[in-house]
Structure 1
């Protein structure tokens, strides 16, 4: 562990309602927001299971629950299954562009429609431009915004952070009307391929939660590694 990690100050929140499991309380560990962060420190913290939201680095820290487990895909060993290969084929017509930000109206309108139609019961509803920019900002100059187009129409955006050893899938939003494309699944598969193209080792997926439907899907991607008891271990 580097000296910067040893000297790091962290804080915990008061217990609050869990966003993923009903009738549970959660506590979150945050890195001191005054801490100067660069790509190296961010990468080292990701190895320890931390995640980014806007300018904040955090990790679940619940005393009576360890359901939220950091997950990553070792891309060199990944092989898509039949359904995943079909998803890749169904989206091979998409054109990809990397842009420096997502402040434009087209990007925000896509986000707004996605939240309103797919996540009206979530923490980000109703959509708000200030919250959108704060959540998906380029905090430490390592964020990439990949736009996917169908016939010139903006169809999806994947917000991805580039770490020293891999990519971190921060958030993906897409046209809620494109139900036949499985764009959420496709975005992960595309990021796996892009991670390999960049010569990096891992795609970090955030937290896997076995008993939460919207988080358990990550076990569809094999092999998958989970950070348990201070070690990255293959999910069997």
Structure 2
């Protein structure tokens, strides 16, 4: 009788580079590849521990002297829209949602370029060409969808790459028409994903990272039911002012200790 064990995933650390969220700081990421028959299980398990997916890689911030980035998700059962969010839903009542397979189109890329040029012209994705965009959308080893939002004339106004996890939906990347400010499409995409999760019976919507002190991330704390992955557990968010983003050499555990504390899925097959 033979019992074979799969190889455990290998973790690596990126070289330090300027932080895109907090000026004057350096970021570093802990990452592992996402491939093979166990990709879905690994993605589900590590997403619950603050990791995010980018194509066939799972990553989590692992900065040497800063622990400001906190993974954020919305507890669907605890979410209640605010008055302003209800107005956003009403203003976008004419928008139609279309969920498709993860396949990139020229119309998506044109919208993506307008969004970047308007909102993130100096960001790390500013030079992304059509082939890199297609790779971002299409290179996924797990269950993913492109969720498109079109108006009454059939024009694409917003889109998002969304992963379907065993406990929720993860908004990998979203973009929208930057000229339609009154619609608040960024907020609407999150509100609609809460509804998607609710309809599917999934408890969470994963939003990526919230960074105290970063204006780019301030919108995430406006959603009720928000939870943050902090000190190894998911906790209901307190007042934003309760969190600080100060650097300190003891804020981050050593890499070896971080890896040792990661829980991996049990992917062992049946005895043979």
TM-score (normalizing by structure 1) = 0.93
Residues 1:33 and 1:158: Cα distance change in structure 2 (over 3 Å):
closer
Equivalent pair of 1:95/1:150 in contact (CA under 8 Å): yes
Number of equivalenced pairs: 233
Q: Secondary structure at the match of 1:216?
A: helix
Q: Secondary structure at the match of 2:98?
A: strand
Equivalent pair of 1:169/1:204 in contact (CA under 8 Å): yes
Q: Secondary structure at the match of 1:210?
A: coil
Which one has a larger percent strand, Structure 1 or Structure 2? 1
Equivalent pair of 1:29/1:60 in contact (CA under 8 Å): yes
**1:62 — aligned with what?**
63
Equivalent pair of 1:39/1:164 in contact (CA under 8 Å): no
Residues 1:33 and 1:162: Cα distance change in structure 2 (over 3 Å):
closer
**2:30 — aligned with what?**
29
CA distance in structure 1 between the aligned counterparts of 2:37 and 2:57, rounded to whole angstroms: 11
**1:166 — aligned with what?**
168
Equivalent pair of 1:98/1:147 in contact (CA under 8 Å): yes
**1:50 — aligned with what?**
51
Stretches of structure 2 lacking an aligned partner (at least 5 in a row)? 239-272
**Per-residue deviation at 1:124?**
1.1
CA distance in structure 1 between the aligned counterparts of 2:9 and 2:79, rounded to whole angstroms: 34
**Per-residue deviation at 1:165?**
0.4
CA distance in structure 1 between the aligned counterparts of 2:196 and 2:231, rounded to whole angstroms: 29
**2:227 — aligned with what?**
225
Which stretch of the first structure deviates more once superposed, 110-119 or 186-195? Answer: 110-119
1:1-236 alignment runs, 5 A limit: 7-32=8-33, 37-151=38-152, 152-236=154-238
CA distance in structure 2 between the aligned counterparts of 1:32 and 1:197, rounded to whole angstroms: 31
Stretches of structure 1 lacking an aligned partner (at least 5 in a row)? none
TM-score (normalizing by structure 2) = 0.81
